[in-house]
Structure 1
Amino acid sequence: MERISHILQAIRRVVRTRVFAATALAMVTVILSASVSVAARAVTVSDGQERRVVLTMYSDPYKTIEMAGLTMENYDLIRVNNAAAQIDIDRAITVEVVADGASTIVYMNGGTVQDALNKAEVTLGKYDTISAELDEAVTSGMAVTVSRVKYQDYTRTETIRYETETKYTPVLSPGRTKVTQAGQNGTKTTTYRQTIVDGKVVETNTVSEQVTKKAVNQKVIKGSAYGTPLSKAPFNMALNSKNQPLNYKKVYTNKSCTAYSIGTRGASGMRLGVGTIAVNPKVIPYGTKLWITSADGKFVYGYAVAADTGSFANGTRTFADLYFGSYTEACYFGRRSLNIYVIG
């Protein structure tokens, strides 16, 4: 027992010595250093522009970012990859979305134009247009403009103006006019489509037209210059200064002639029109080619073919009935004395 007491006293004396204190402190330092070495790890921190590696014991990524000397701004996001010991900072960028007369600034950490619209709570209509593609990646300071587009149809009843058809005739004195058919305006219903962008009409197009009443053209006869034939010959003819043919087989002079304008096919079976006349076929056979003019050459009916006949052939003083294109012309012609040349 006495021996144990001596041993304890010896230990107390050793503990009180400086050598022991220094030795103990060294042991504690080694133990602590070993503990720190075991807990600390290297972590890479990057914000896309700067990349730093720090030795940290923190599990809190924000503490690690602070150790790396980087700061977090409003709307910045972080991505932590523990397996790779990597912390990435996604810096927020601003994107301006303009729609409906208002401008909205949204903060984006990447993404597309569609994401920016969603964040700005802007929904595209069926016909709306946008200044960028929806799947385009956003960039810092980007401006995206949405134009609201709609279409509006309306109908309008419009007037169809009649046109005037002028026909020259020798039955009137030169320059004189006479309406043979009065013109009438028509109507049509037109459907238009307006393109409206942000409340303003930018384009108007015609969608359809429906004629509800056709226009009736006005027909006018106008006196031609003296000596102008109503019916031209289908071949070249040599005429003198009074529009009389130089070559002919026979001439009937100063014959009383009248006019008509009805019928489509003559007694000969030939089709009637300007350039056909009615005669007594016993005097002038059907198919005979003729040239008809006044004695002074001012009125020229011109080339004609004997194609029809009428009651006048039975003993009346009418020698020939000339076909005109309108009833008005026939009336204005009335009855005139003309020379009829047989040319073929």
Structure 2
Amino acid sequence: MSKIASILASIALTLSPQVDKSFDVAKEKTYINEQTLVKTETRFSQKEIAESDPIGYETSYRDDENLEFGETKILNKGENGEEVKAYRITYYDEEILDKELINTEIKEPKNEVVLKGTKISWKKEDANRCGEFKYWHKYENVYMTTYTPQCLGCNAWTSIGLKAGYGIVAVDPKKIPYWTKVCIPGYGIAVAGDTGGAMRSYPGLLIDLGFPSLAPQDKWLTTGRYDMYILNNEDKRDRFFVGDLR
């Protein structure tokens, strides 16, 4: 008598006490086999999935003396890589019981190489409040604010010891070196001679125009976007900002 038959026979006797306990085991076995009373069904299942994550590429710059300062050219275009992980998931009904990593494939990124112009070409221009001048680089649509020596946190002297007011502009010295001479049409000729937290934290290029006071006759420009020409410090061109002005 098989073990399954024995168990079923025991269950049958327990549930039906009126059944004759002297039944023939062989008949019961035949009955079980013929009627196929035992049905096995698993509630476990498995499937395999893949998950991918991009791997960013890096960008490097190379100086190119054949390109004008401020110009860039992509030498090798970058491509993101990818990491693909394959998992075997085991479920009990709809619940995840196990997640096993079975394979990992990595496609390495292709780094980007950008040429950065260093060539200096002098040009002539004539602008309102600047007159005629020569410049070697022009920033277009730079975001500019205004300040006076009387503003909160300001004083009569700049961070490099110049008298604050008209003709002095505040900059981030890591993007526009101190003592750089500039022309801002509508404002005039000025020197980068001051700095401030707003300029240093701005992600692009921010210039703060100095005025003697808030009186209308002393402050004729408002916050906005203006062009700016660089008139000197060409020997420090590697310290000038190149990128998204924001």
TM interval, shorter chain, is 0.3 to 0.5
- Structure with bigger gyration radius: 1
- TM-score w.r.t. structure 1 length? 0.27
- TM-score w.r.t. structure 2 length? 0.37
Question: Relative contact order: is structure 1 or structure 2 higher (C-alpha 8 Å, sep ≥ 6)?
Answer: 2
